[in-house]
């Protein structure tokens, strides 16, 4: 239904239109206002005893520098600048920012123009011509806040996408640091295997001399050779794992597969201090929790947009311009024309479609609420898992260090006993085999301890993540200069 109004004939349509405009600007907004849900937050982390009371995430905005390795710093900065997943996430933020603008534009007046020209012949009447030029404007008055709720949802989607980008950056940095630690761990195990292989090669040469002199038997010679090959068989696997880890790191930082430069040895890495904090801090810092909350905000706003479908919509349309049968007279003379139309449209019967849209919106909000609460609980679990891993790995390292020291002394003693004829060479082989295994386990435990620290920082979120953009533009020299000294951070 449309109604054409002639200005100056009746004053009430103008007053009615002005009233509607005022209502559109300051009118009702349907739907519930968002309030952050109450979440059951534990008073403290279960395994927080190992946290340093004076260290917080705000004190270490670039926490990976706590490992004290300039090559690692350079890899992280390169990854933040060139990783493809992070670039995709950044482009998604740009996309959702444009969506916010497009949604808000629905509530603003739309102005356009048009022009037409025609020429036709109608039998003996001759040729007729017509020309017109008009400006048009339309405005859907947001009486019930539908567009405002949609804009609120679009903005929340944008913020959720930004938090998703920060989450990608957090995961990226954690993966780079963990991958680099794994690379150093593999290097350490390869070094242990090569040293063991060198020692067993000397044993083979010594026993070959003894075999030639009739001092040892063929059986003992074969045992020595078998242990040599056991050590030799570990080296190709480790070399393969190192190459594959280098390739994975290269792709992660945006390079083609290739070698990765190392800075420090696994034994000389320093450990960032374990930060302290309360579980409630996660809700305001961790990217995936903030993302889940913004998704809840968006679904809550869309309930109001769905409820607005029950009510009529009002749009105003105005057209003004000139029309003439002669182009020269288009903008002169009595050729001006205008029209003003107000259109009111509302539902009477929609077959349950509007009710269905409202039920869907409410169900989506319930899904978002449960997802938000589940994300928070998973975050608490991640932190406690990382804290208990740090404690257990430190205890394991201490135990393995004592075991390695004991086995090294046992190997020395059993060799003396063998040389003096008090032990068989089988006892020597057993002791050397146990020492080799314990040394490899100790290297792995050290790597796991550093990886547990990385897991903790990832679980805590970290305020550093807001500095992703400036960090990606930093120079490697600045990153190296900020690395802490080895003495300032004890090893894990």
Compute the distance between CA of residue 21 and CA of residue 12 in angstroms, rounded to an integer: 14
Average pLDDT over residues 92-103: 88
CA-based nearest residue to 82, from 207, 181, 193, 172: 172
Compute the distance between CA of residue 300 and CA of residue 29 in angstroms, rounded to an integer: 13
Compute the distance between CA of residue 332 and CA of residue 309 in angstroms, rounded to an integer: 46
Give the chain's domain count. 2
Of 345, 367, 402, the position where a domain reaches its end is 345
Establish if 464 belongs to a structural domain: yes
Check: CB of residue 386 under 8 Å from CB of residue 452.
Answer: yes
Same domain, 365 and 462: yes
| Tens digits of residue pLDDT in 438-455 | 999 999 999 999 999 999
Average pLDDT over residues 202-213: 87
Same domain, 82 and 214: yes
Same domain, 305 and 223: yes
Compute the distance between CA of residue 381 and CA of residue 387 in angstroms, rounded to an integer: 10
CA-based nearest residue to 289, from 159, 389, 177: 159
Compute the distance between CA of residue 399 and CA of residue 446 in angstroms, rounded to an integer: 12
| Tens digits of residue pLDDT in 3-41 | 333 333 344 344 445 445 555 455 577 888 888 888 887
pLDDT score for 21: 52
Is pLDDT above 70 for 96?
yes
pLDDT score for 470: 44
Same domain, 169 and 260: yes
CA angle 28, 32, 33 (to 5 degrees): 85
Same domain, 74 and 205: yes
pLDDT score for 49: 62
pLDDT score for 58: 45
Average pLDDT over residues 170-182: 93
Establish if 350 belongs to a structural domain: no
pLDDT score for 351: 81
Establish if 272 belongs to a structural domain: yes
Which residue in this structure is represented by tokens 């903790």?
456
Same domain, 302 and 338: no
CATH of the domain at 319: 2.20.200.10
Distance from the Cα of residue 295 to its chain's centroid: 15
Is pLDDT above 80 for 465?
no
Same domain, 14 and 42: no
Question: How much is the mean pLDDT over the chain?
Answer: 80
Average pLDDT over residues 303-316: 81
Establish if 259 belongs to a structural domain: yes
Average pLDDT over residues 331-349: 73
Establish if 219 belongs to a structural domain: yes
Check: CB of residue 359 under 8 Å from CB of residue 353.
Answer: no
Same domain, 234 and 151: yes
Compute the distance between CA of residue 181 and CA of residue 451 in angstroms, rounded to an integer: 7
Compute the distance between CA of residue 150 and CA of residue 148 in angstroms, rounded to an integer: 5
Check: CB of residue 56 under 8 Å from CB of residue 226.
Answer: no
pLDDT score for 34: 84
pLDDT score for 192: 95
- Reading phi first (left if > 0) and then psi (alpha if -120 to 50, else beta), residue 345 is in beta
Same domain, 220 and 247: yes
Establish if 406 belongs to a structural domain: yes
Establish if 351 belongs to a structural domain: no
Which range, of 122-136, 323-337, 472-486, averages the lowest pLDDT?
472-486
| Tens digits of residue pLDDT in 259-272 | 999 999 999 999 88
Of 345, 368, 402, the position where a domain reaches its end is 345
Same domain, 157 and 170: yes
CA-based nearest residue to 478, from 177, 131, 76: 76
CATH of the domain at 50: 1.20.1600.10
* Angle of the 287-307 helix axis to the 146-212 helix axis, nearest 10: 150
Establish if 447 belongs to a structural domain: yes
Percent of the chain topping pLDDT 70: 81
Same domain, 189 and 332: no
Which range is most confident: 135-149, 186-200, 351-365, 466-480? 186-200
Same domain, 16 and 118: yes
Range of the domain at 23: 1-29+110-141+312-345
Check: CB of residue 308 under 8 Å from CB of residue 144.
Answer: yes
Compute the distance between CA of residue 114 and CA of residue 132 in angstroms, rounded to an integer: 8
């Amino acid at each position: 239904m449309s109604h054409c109004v002639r200005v100056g004939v009746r004053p009430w349509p103008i007053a009615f239109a002005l009233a509607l405009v005022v209502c559109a600007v300051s009118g009702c907004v349907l739907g519930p206002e968002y309030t952050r849900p109450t979440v059951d937050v534990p008073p403290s982390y279960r395994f927080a005893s190992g946290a340093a009371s004076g260290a917080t995430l705000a004190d270490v905005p670039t926490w990976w520098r706590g490992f004290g390795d300039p090559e690692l710093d350079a890899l992280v900065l390169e990854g933040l600048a060139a990783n493809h997943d992070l670039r995709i996430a950044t482009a998604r933020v740009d996309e959702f920012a444009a969506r916010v603008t497009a949604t808000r534009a629905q509530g603003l007046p739309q102005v356009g123009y048009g022009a037409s020209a025609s020429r036709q012949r109608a039998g003996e009447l001759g040729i007729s011509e017509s020309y017109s030029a008009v400006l048009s404007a339309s405005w859907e008055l947001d009486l019930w806040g539908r567009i405002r709720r949609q804009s609120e949802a679009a903005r929340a989607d944008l913020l959720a996408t930004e938090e998703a980008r920060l989450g990608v950056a957090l995961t990226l940095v954690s993966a780079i640091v963990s991958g680099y630690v794994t690379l150093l761990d593999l290097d350490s195990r390869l070094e242990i295997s090569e040293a063991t292989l060198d020692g067993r090669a000397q044993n083979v040469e010594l026993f070959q001399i003894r075999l030639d002199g009739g001092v040892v038997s063929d059986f003992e010679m074969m045992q020595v050779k078998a242990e040599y090959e056991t050590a030799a068989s570990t080296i190709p696997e480790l070399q393969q794992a190192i190459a594959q880890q280098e390739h994975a790191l290269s792709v992660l930082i945006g390079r083609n597969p290739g070698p990765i430069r190392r800075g420090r040895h696994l034994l000389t890495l320093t450990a960032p201090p374990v930060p302290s904090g309360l579980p409630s801090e996660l809700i305001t810092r961790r990217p995936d929790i903030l993302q889940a909350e913004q998704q809840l905000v968006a679904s809550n706003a869309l309930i109001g947009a769905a409820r607005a479908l029950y009510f009529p919509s009002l749009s105003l349309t105005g057209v003004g311009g000139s029309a003439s049968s002669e182009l020269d007279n288009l903008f002169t003379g009595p050729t001006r024309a205008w029209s003003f139309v107000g259109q009111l449209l509302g539902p009477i019967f929609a077959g349950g479609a509007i009710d269905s849209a409202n039920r869907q919106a409410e169900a989506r909000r319930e899904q978002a609420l449960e997802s938000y609460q589940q994300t928070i609980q998973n975050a608490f679990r991640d932190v406690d898992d990382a804290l208990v891993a740090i404690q257990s790995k430190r205890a394991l390292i201490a135990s393995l260090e004592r075991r390695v020291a004991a086995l090294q002394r046992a190997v020395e003693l059993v060799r003396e006993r063998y040389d003096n004829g008090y032990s068989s060479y089988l006892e020597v082989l057993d002791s050397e085999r146990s020492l080799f295994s314990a040394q490899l386990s100790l290297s792995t435990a050290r790597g796991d301890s550093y990886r547990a620290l990385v897991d903790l920082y990832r679980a805590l979120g970290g305020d550093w993540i807001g500095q992703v953009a400036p960090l990606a533009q930093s120079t490697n020299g600045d990153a190296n200069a900020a690395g802490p000294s080895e003495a300032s951070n004890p090893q894990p």
